[in-house]
Amino acid sequence: MDWRLRFGALSLIWGFSFLLIKVGTEGYAPFQVTLGRLLSGTAVLAVAMAVRRERLPRGARTWGHLAVAAFFLNALPFSLFAYAELTIPSTLAGICNATSPLWGMALSLVALSEDRPTRRRVAGLGLGFLGVLTVLGAWQGFSGLDFTGTAMALLASLSYPIGWIYVRRTLAGSGSSTLALTGSQLFLGTAQIALVTPLFTSAPDGFPLLPTLAVVALGALGTGLAVLLQYGLVAEVGPTTAQMVTYFIPVIATAAGVIVLGEQLSWNTPVGALVVLAGAALTQSRARSGRPAAGRSHNAGAATGVETGAGENAGTGAMEKAATGTETGAMEKAATGTETGAMEKAATGAGTGARTKAATGAGDHP
């Protein structure tokens, strides 16, 4: 597949995810939507693992770390977004998702000592949060805003960089391929939600067609196929180009919500979204160094590109680094993408060869 087609498909899949969540919640409880998408996504990756004859990760400690990663990168944010869209439009959820790189930048200043802030990146952080206030209509006293739903969407976006940082610190050099780690992570996330769902919801009365199709598509495409597309894209064009998917997601999410669902859009929403994206871009900028750029390096691309997933759809994101053990010093760049993502950024070092090569094109990244 030509990389442009892969790029366009990935942008559309992740951009439409928020619409699919909204449609899914019209027929199912939020936890049921999350469980359905995780089941579908896990099934897709299970097939990919079987085809490639991947082995499951070994060691109780690795599985314990994967369980924590599954909570912060899948179970928690997926559930929060589903609950949020009960009361806020999908357009707002998509824009809140774009704040993941901003949260990642803020957290990295505290949690990642090797990541030194620059004036440009700090300015980007401030600009990004100014954009958030613009989207929310702060000058109007947040009039007409559902505080609970918006807070849930923002917390979901914050959950991704927390998970990425945790993965980076605990699973680097685990010895397993990215696909195996990602598939196992999704399986554990599915198990977590399967245990919680019966406690908060009852069995659905039926299986309405459109919500059911939306949930299946959300998981099979947005949580399963997108993972495979992302690695193929990073392997072919490198992380710098692949990260641009991040900037199309809120645009597509907004267009889908307005055109397909008929959601209302006030002027401050698109204006604020552009400011958020500009801030996110600045937080991901790095000073030039004498080291070679990642360019199209297969290993460098794989080592960092998974973080260019983009927030809500980047739930399986930071696993490439875990598989290869690389340390590129820009976890906040993962946003997306998360994914965030964004899943997001330029490499400063290459990953290890063999496992990266095996995982790229089949593994993942909100």
Query: What does the DSSP assignment read for 8-52?
Result: HHHHHHHHHHHHHHHHHHTTS-HHHHHHHHHHHHHHHHHHHHHHH
Task: Using alpha carbons, select from 346, 20, 336, 26 the residue that is nearest to residue 156.
Answer: 336
> Length of the chain in residues, anyone?
366
Residue predicted with more confidence, 138 or 26 = 26
Q: Measured between alpha carbons, how far is residue 326 from residues 155, 261, 351 in Å? A: 28, 42, 5
The pLDDT tens digits for 140-161 are 766 778 999 999 999 999 999 9
Residue predicted with more confidence, 325 or 52 = 52
Residue predicted with more confidence, 198 or 178 = 198
Q: Any idea what DSSP says for residue 342?
A: B
Report the b/e string of 65-86 with b at 16+ CB within 10 A: bbbbbbbbbbbbbbbbbbbbbb
Confidence of residue 314 (pLDDT cuts 50, 70, 90): low
Residue predicted with more confidence, 248 or 340 = 248
For the segment 120-128, the average pLDDT, to the nearest whole number, is 85
pTM for this model (two decimals): 0.78
The pLDDT tens digits for 100-112 are 888 888 887 776 5
Checking if the pLDDT of 24 tops 60, the result is: yes
Return d(Cα 307, Cα 339) in angstroms, integer.
Answer: 5
Confidence of residue 179 (pLDDT cuts 50, 70, 90): confident
Tell me what pLDDT residue 115 has: 60
Confidence of residue 116 (pLDDT cuts 50, 70, 90): low
Angle at 218 between CA 180 and CA 183, to 5 degrees: 5
Checking if the pLDDT of 351 tops 50, the result is: no
Tell me what pLDDT residue 319 has: 56
Task: Using alpha carbons, select from 36, 41, 2, 23 the residue that is nearest to residue 309.
Answer: 41
Task: Using alpha carbons, select from 39, 135, 141 the residue that is nearest to residue 94.
Answer: 135
The pLDDT tens digits for 77-105 are 999 999 999 999 999 999 999 888 888 88
Tell me what pLDDT residue 195 has: 97
Tell me what pLDDT residue 349 has: 37
Q: Measured between alpha carbons, how far is residue 156 from residues 85, 169, 198, 312 in Å? A: 12, 21, 22, 7
The pLDDT mean for the chain works out to: 78
Tell me what pLDDT residue 341 has: 39
Report the b/e string of 272-288 with b at 16+ CB within 10 A: bbbbbbbbbbbbbebee
Checking if the pLDDT of 343 tops 80, the result is: no
Backbone angles phi, psi at 189, to 5 degrees: -60, -40
Q: Measured between alpha carbons, how far is residue 130 from residues 116, 139, 301 in Å? A: 22, 11, 32
Quick check: 321 and 303 in contact, CB under 8 A?
yes
The pLDDT tens digits for 239-289 are 667 777 878 888 899 999 999 999 988 888 888 889 888 888 887 776 554
For the segment 324-334, the average pLDDT, to the nearest whole number, is 39
Tell me what pLDDT residue 87 has: 96
